[in-house]
Homo-oligomer: A and B are copies of this chain.
Amino acid sequence: MAQPHGRIFNFSAGPGTLPVEVLEQAKEDLLNYRGTGMSVMEMSHRSKAYEQIINEAEADLRSLMGIPEGYKVLFLQGGASLQFSMIPMSFLGSGQTADYVVTGTWGKKAIEAANMVGTAAKIFDAKDTNYNRVPEFGGLNLTAGAAYVHFTSNETIQGVEFKEDPNLPVPVVCDMSSNILSRPLDVSKYALIYAGAQKNMGPAGVALVVVREDFLAKAPEKTHPMLDYRLQSENGSMYNTPPCWTIYICGLVYKHLLAKGGLKAMHAVNEKKAGVVYNAIDSSNGFFKPHAEPNCRSLMNITFTLPSDELTATFISEAKAEGMVELKGHRSVGGCRASTYNSMPLEGCEKLAEFMKAFAAKNG
């Protein structure tokens, strides 16, 4: 079945596919946003029209994620990568230790940045099995009095995902870049949640930070403005000009997800979507080999290998010819990766699964 606007199924790990309805709205608004006579891209961030856009984005996100009172919502630049640095700069004091749970590439980058600031303890590392698993939260050896414990709720490259919120006696900091908004969560279990937008929320160029006020209060009194959570919070993410258009698109995505039934509904669809692809892997008699252990298979990034590099290349090129692109896996895992973020339609996953079954039957 042909997609609207000649669009194809884009399994990119990020920037990732967006809801077609959001893009249609953006197109309609593009030259003249709702009678303002200008594009959102041209709008003063201090204007009433833009204030409404950013305020609604925050309110919709609070509703969607169930963010309780006592948490600040920030939209910052620099992506999750700048957060890797800002977190220890702000919350890892001298003489303190921060615990890091390393389940893949992004966790490794996070602890590297922490090591540039102070003492970071690697309390879990799945390197020995090439990052195909996650630990039980209950089994972690936390450092007594740790400044915080950091983990990555979903590792985009390896495709391993924690299936529950942690309940830990130290402040929990979580990089949710690649599975935020994909399922309900209990924000009260976290001191700080952050996520680059470009997988489940919108275009690249903004990072979301949700931070508990008592944790935020531990940040230093004065630091460089663009590295200062406190200043950004006091200025409603507008200490300087924010990435206005990017936040506007995120806001449209939030409204879209609310209209679709919120995170519970998204989770049900995401389980179904990932289910059909994992089923194609599991029913292939070993032709497709999954990377992640069964209990931590990501609903967002499905990683698997084929019997040979040649078959992998053929698979990717034949899939492309069928209108399914960006299926090549990261070199650290090899093989293929299908990113099935919120905005990937069920039909995309079904089409991929059918293609996989036919490919295995032909080449197995």
Contacts and interface: CB of A to CB of B under 8 A. Distances in A.
Interface of A: 3-8, 10, 12-18, 20, 23-24, 26-27, 30-32, 35-39, 41-45, 47, 77-82, 84-85, 89, 113, 116, 196, 198, 202-206, 222-227, 239-246, 249, 323, 325-326
Contact of A12 (B42, B82, B239): B42
Contact of A81 (B8, B36, B225): B225
Contacts of A239: 81
A205 B243 contact: yes
Contacts of A17: 38, 42
Contact of A44 (B7, B15, B205, B222): B15
Contacts of A77: 77-79, 82, 205, 243
Given A27-B27, A323-B37, A246 B42 contact: no
Given A5-B31, A6-B32, A241 B196 contact: yes
A245 B85 contact: no
Contact of A326 (B7, B47, B203, B226): B47
Given A47-B326, A81-B226, A246-B246, A15 B32 contact: no
| Most-contacted residue by chain B among A24, A84, A243 (CB, 10 A) | A243
Contact of A15 (B14, B45, B81, B325): B45
CB-based closest 3 A-B pairs: A205-B243, A8-B37, A41-B203
A244 to B, nearest CB: 5
A14 B205 contact: no
11 contacts: A7-B31, A15-B42, A20-B31, A27-B30, A77-B78, A77-B243, A78-B82, A79-B241, A81-B240, A116-B223, A204-B242
Contact of A243 (B8, B38, B204): B204
A43 B198 CA distance: 10
A14 B85 CA distance: 29
Q: Which of A27, A32, A77, A89 has the most CB of B within 10 A?
A: A77
Nearest to A7: B37
Contact of A203 (B202, B226, B245): B245
A323 B42 CA distance: 15
